[in-house]
Amino acid sequence: MELDFSEIIPALPALWDGMLLTLELMIMGVVGGIALGTVLALMRLSSSKLLSRLAGAYVNYFRSIPLLLVITWFYLAVPFVLRWITGEDTPIGAFTSCVVAFMMFEAAYFCEIVRAGVQAISKGQMGAAQALGMTYGQTMRLIILPQAFRKMTPLLLQQSIILFQDTSLVYTVGLVDFLNSARANGDIIGRSHEFLIFAGAVYFIISFSASWLVKRLQKRIAV
């Protein structure tokens, strides 16, 4: 069997549309996941045992189930739950369900990254800030979290790269991301092998390049 990649060029606009969807899912998942993960991390570090245990249960649950299950659950099960609560049909589109699934799933991982970053900051800084009359919220917002985010930026970016790869799972709910676009175009033209090889090469180049940049950033921050 001879490989012919010439059909990929005419399909580039469709593949680009798929890549835009992939990047949009990743960016929204990362932003929402970091925001929710930060809240969960502060809950886990809270002196309140109730808040700490609730956040811990959330993290342990979502880190113990596959992302594919979360995507499917939000797409299929959540509308039934909303109907039971509101009594009305509340359809949730595939894109929205995937974004929410990514945010909630990644929040469990970002939570642990943020928690580790906060714990890496010297406790003396918290005591010094409180001695100056700053509240706990002011200390976390103005002193602790900015330093913690600087330390954990490489880990946050590395987790974002993993999410970029995991976005390919949205094919299960019918979204045409980059991989699904490549597969569909390959099947139509009859060159599925070439399109899948091309898609794999693109994922490799982007992920490898991003990982290399993260390592350089990590060395620069360490210095």
Q: CA 189, 193, 194 angle in degrees (round to 5)?
A: 75
pLDDT score recorded for residue 75: 87
Which has the closest alpha carbon to 7: 131, 185, 128? 185
* Domain that residue 49 falls in: 9-121+130-222
- With respect to residue 4, please indicate whether it lies within any of the assigned structural domains: no
Does 127 have pLDDT greater than 60? yes
Return the SS3 of 132.
coil
Which tens digit of pLDDT belongs to each residue from 151-192?
888 889 999 999 999 999 998 888 999 999 999 998 888 888
- With respect to residue 38, please indicate whether it lies within any of the assigned structural domains: yes
- With respect to residue 42, please indicate whether it lies within any of the assigned structural domains: yes
pLDDT score recorded for residue 1: 57
pLDDT score recorded for residue 113: 93
- In the Cβ-directed half-sphere of 45, how many Cα atoms lie within 13 Å? 23
- With respect to residue 34, please indicate whether it lies within any of the assigned structural domains: yes
Query: What integer is the mean pLDDT of 123-129?
Result: 78
Which has the closest alpha carbon to 45: 136, 124, 128? 136
Which tens digit of pLDDT belongs to each residue from 44-87?
988 889 999 999 999 999 999 999 999 998 888 777 777 777 77
* Single-letter code of the amino acid located at 102: F
- With respect to residue 18, please indicate whether it lies within any of the assigned structural domains: yes
Q: Give the predicted TM-score (pTM) of the model.
A: 0.88
Is residue 79 a contact partner of residue 90, using CB atoms and an 8 Å limit? yes
Residue with tokens 């700053």: 134
Domain count, the chain: 1
Cβ neighbour number for residue 220 with a 10 Å cutoff: 9
Does 145 have pLDDT greater than 90? no
pLDDT score recorded for residue 114: 92
Which CATH number covers residue 214? Answer: 1.10.3720.10
Separation of alpha carbons 92 and 107, rounded Å = 21
Query: What integer is the mean pLDDT of 111-119?
Result: 90
Q: What percent of the chain has pLDDT over 90?
A: 51
**What CA–CA distances, in Å, run from 178 to 126, 175, 223?**
46, 10, 37
Question: Phi and psi for 9 in degrees, rounded to 5?
Answer: -60, -50
- With respect to residue 96, please indicate whether it lies within any of the assigned structural domains: yes
**What CA–CA distances, in Å, run from 22 to 12, 27, 107, 197?**
15, 9, 19, 18
- With respect to residue 103, please indicate whether it lies within any of the assigned structural domains: yes
pLDDT score recorded for residue 25: 95
**What CA–CA distances, in Å, run from 85 to 51, 66, 71, 81, 100?**
25, 26, 21, 6, 19
- With respect to residue 3, please indicate whether it lies within any of the assigned structural domains: no
pLDDT score recorded for residue 90: 67
Mean pLDDT estimate for the chain: 88
